[in-house]
Amino acid sequence: NAGVTQTPKFQVLKTGQSMTLQCAQDMNHEYMSWYRQDPGMGLRLIHYSVGAGITDQGEVPNGYNVSRSTTEDFPLRLLSAAPSQTSVYFCASRRQQYYGYTFGSGTRLTVV
């Protein structure tokens, strides 16, 4: 049972480049979310999904897009990378709305 798988683990982008962070879970969880972690600020919600075909914005959605075409996958797209998007990104999933999250191992992104 792989849980939540994130790729890549590390990435360096130049300002203005775009890329997609991949996230897949094999637990048949309904809820999936993307968080970013910055020093001293905990984890802040970027986007979340309550099921295939349904997504919504979180606290810090600007500059990011998501889609959820299947239950398993929830990719995060950076449209035009900016240095302010340098962060550690976590994908997480949970079975239903009242459960806690299972996290992926994170992606450390640096934008230069």
Partner 1 sequence: AQKITQTQPGMFVQEKEAVTLDCTYDTSDPSYGLFWYKQPSSGEMIFLIYQGSYDQQNATEGRYSLNFQKARKSANLVISASQLGDSAMYFCAMRDNYGQNFVFGPGTRLSVLP
Site residues, partner 1 (CB under 8 A): 31, 33, 35, 40-45, 48, 50, 88, 90, 92, 96-103, 105-106
Q: Alpha-carbon distance 87 to 89, whole Å?
A: 6
Instruction: Give CA angle at 61 (42, 14), nearest 5°.
Output: 90
Longest dimension (CA), the chain: 39
- In the complex, least distance from residue 40 CB atom to partner 1, rounded to whole angstroms: 6
Tell me the sheet residues that pair with 35: 45, 90
The nearer residue to partner 1, 28 or 97, going by C-beta atoms, is: 97
- In the complex, least distance from residue 37 CB atom to partner 1, rounded to whole angstroms: 9
- In the complex, least distance from residue 97 CB atom to partner 1, rounded to whole angstroms: 2
